[in-house]
Amino acid sequence: VGQLLMLTGPLALYVLRGRYREPLDGLTFGAASALGFSLATELTTLWPLLGGPLVATGDSVDWGLRLLRLGVLVALVNASTTGLITAALWLQRYDRRRSERAWEAGVPATALVAAGAQVLLAIVTVVLPELGIQVLVWVLAALALTLYVRQVIHQALLAEGSVREIGPSAPCPECHHVVPTMRFCPNCGAARAAAPRSSRIGTVA
């Protein structure tokens, strides 16, 4: 249910704001929606503690692990799973070479991974009583999802670069050398599609 709620805002933008059509736009919308949802749920969960005494009772390590999971890992996992789905959705609309796109960047694969990760972590949190093991599983899941997000971003940049031919010389947004406009800067290797949109206006054919 939580994953569906995190997708509500990005899906509305997908339908109503067609000018934001780049895959990285979808990734940004998904991550922002997930972080906002995570903040709201964490404030709701921790509200009794925020209204309580300033000095808490209990083991400091235990509190540290709980705050690490609630304050960092939950937000990171939610941002990764939601960003995966929205980036793949935007990529499907943007990419004109569907047959050449890697399967791991498709909507079915990303949705399956996102849902599986959320269900698995929910089960681990309920079944495993040891807090340290819970946090370890969350850390491993967050790292794995981050690597998967990196792979989807890679496919998105390749898809965006494939629709652009070599254009006139222009300053690179990263190294600021004047180079031919290509998908990747021939001087520093930075992806032009990953640069802010404002720096790409008038520089990409």
Residue holding tokens 């996102």? 114
Checking if the pLDDT of 201 tops 70, the result is no
Please count the other Cβ atoms lying within 10 Å of the Cβ belonging to residue 34: 29
**Tally of domains within the chain:** 2
Checking if the pLDDT of 97 tops 70, the result is no
Checking if the pLDDT of 83 tops 90, the result is yes
**Owning domain of residue 23:** 2-162
Q: Are residues 58 and 138 in the same domain?
A: yes
Q: Are residues 117 and 196 in the same domain?
A: no
Q: Are residues 118 and 20 in the same domain?
A: yes
Q: How many CA atoms lie within 13 A of 99 on its CB side?
A: 0
Q: What share of the chain in percent tops pLDDT 70?
A: 81
Instruction: Let me know the angle formed at the C-alpha of 111 by 44 and 36, rounded to the nearest 5 degrees.
Output: 25
Q: Are residues 133 and 174 in the same domain?
A: no
Q: What is the pTM of this model?
A: 0.75
